[in-house]
Amino acid sequence: MKLPFKLLSAYFLSIVAAIGFGVIALLIGRNKISVFDLSIISTVQGWENPALTTVMERFSWLGTTPVVVFLSIGILIFLAAILGHRKELLLFIAIIGGAPLLNSVLKSVFRRERPDIHRLAEEASYSFPSGHSMAAFALYGGLIYLLWRHVTSKAGRVLLVALGSIIVLCIGISRIYLGVHYPSDVIGGYLASGVWLSLSIGIFQSMGGRRR
């Protein structure tokens, strides 16, 4: 696969994600997504039971800032000490560092209040887009990209993508289950983080950050 095609793919994905985010934001601003949000919340919170609540709290915990920072440091040490990468370190730092900054900016712009229906947890900041979802997508999406080139078997790559996707999806669902986010917050978080992740990868590739 030639570099120009990779660049086009990365930038195309960032544009698609940006358009998707814009559509979600527009629907929220015009109050056209309430039926969707409430129906998903009703379904997800209908699963409530003590055992599942514990599981969801654990997944939500995986998206908290201390855990993301701890995992990020561990990944950076692994990349530096085991794989000996340097350019990849800069890419990973840009991905995980830029996502929370972008989230803070977007939250301050949209100022959406959190759902007040049935809460199993409490959060103080604004709701849209979901910070947990953005952090999880950036962290695990970036990790998948960096490890992909070192996993040569098809089965290994499928497992890598599947595990990362399941973790990201479960973190997003946990925020809905705990009553601290609308589904559109979670989707918006994935899309916003997708924009940042794709742009970061595109810039990385354009600067020659690839294996020959």
Q: Which residues are catalytic?
A: 132, 181
Tokens representing 147?
């490890």
**Contact yes or no for 195/21 (Cβ under 8 A):** yes
Using DSSP, state whether 150 is helix, strand or coil.
coil
Residues 19 and 21: their CA atoms lie apart, in Å, by 5
In the numeric block, the tokens 């925020």 are attached to 175
Residues 112 and 126: their CA atoms lie apart, in Å, by 6
Tally the C-alpha atoms within 13 A of residue 178's C-alpha that lie toward its C-beta.
Answer: 24
Number of H helices, E strands in the chain: 8, 0
**Contact yes or no for 115/136 (Cβ under 8 A):** no
- Closest by Cα among 56, 202, 180 to 122: 180
Residues 64 and 131: their CA atoms lie apart, in Å, by 9
Residues 199 and 202: their CA atoms lie apart, in Å, by 5
